[in-house]
Amino acid sequence: MLVVDKKVFNIHMLRAKNGCFLTVSEGEEAKFGSIALSVKVGDRANSTIIIPSRFGDIYSRILAESISVMIDGVVIASLHTLSPIEPQIVRRLLDEIKELCKIEP
């Protein structure tokens, strides 16, 4: 769990040799939200939104693309929030997720 600006987030990552499933959900329970798929092709990521968010899809796409470039693979990322979130919260979440990528195989 990560607390950012009085909001609690659950972060779960299931790693595979060629990618990962990533879920980030606001609150005590893990929930699915907006889902983005991203794959690294060459030196950049190609992505698409599978399930849109009621608050905008950009953040799930940013998470998926950033991590797919970092791990050089396929990422399916879900972001569930209870209300719109600020960019600085997403930056903190991304920093935490990047640390998880360094730790997990």
Rounded-to-integer distance, Cα 40 and Cα 72, Å: 6
Q: Collapsing DSSP states into helix, strand and coil, what is residue 55?
A: coil
Do 23 and 15 contact (CB within 8 A), yes or no? Answer: no
Q: Which two tokens stand for residue 46?
A: 């190609």
Q: Domain with 64 in it: what CATH number?
A: 3.30.230.100
The pTM score is: 0.89
Q: What is the mean pLDDT of each run of 10 residues along the chain (105 residues)?
A: 89 93 93 95 92 84 93 95 91 91 69
- What local confidence, expressed as pLDDT, does residue 28 receive? 86
What distance in Å separates the CA atoms of residue 69 and residue 88, rounded to the nearest whole number?
21
Host domain of residue 86: 2-103
- Helix ranges (H only) for 1-105 are 58-71, 87-103
Question: What total of structural domains would you count in the chain?
Answer: 1
